[in-house]
Structure 1
Amino acid sequence: MQINLCCKKSPKLAVFPSDKRLLLMQKLELKDILPLDDFESQRKKFFESHIRYIEKYRKVRLGSSISLVFENRQTLWFRVQEIFRLTKITDPKVMQNELNVYNRLIPEANTLQAAFLLDTQSPPHTINSSIFSLKDFRGDNLRLILNKSIPCDLTTKRPEDLSLGNSLWIRFFLDEEAKMILKDGRTPAKFSLSSNQFLAESHNLPTELRESLWEDLQQ
Structure 2
Amino acid sequence: MIAHEFKLATKSIYNWLNQGRIGFSLNDLPEHGVRQRRNVDQRSKYNQSLGRSIEQRPMMINQRNRIGDFELDTVVGHRGHSKAVLLTLIDRKSRFFWAYRLKDRTTATVNEALTKFLTTFNGPVHSFTVDRGTEFSGLVSLESQYGIKTYYCHAYTPAERGSNERFNRNLRYFYPKGTRFEHISAQDLTTTLLQINQRPLKILDWQTPYQVMLTNLSKNSD
Q: TM-score, normalised by structure 1?
A: 0.25
Q: TM-score, normalised by structure 2?
A: 0.25
Structure with greater proportional helix content? 2
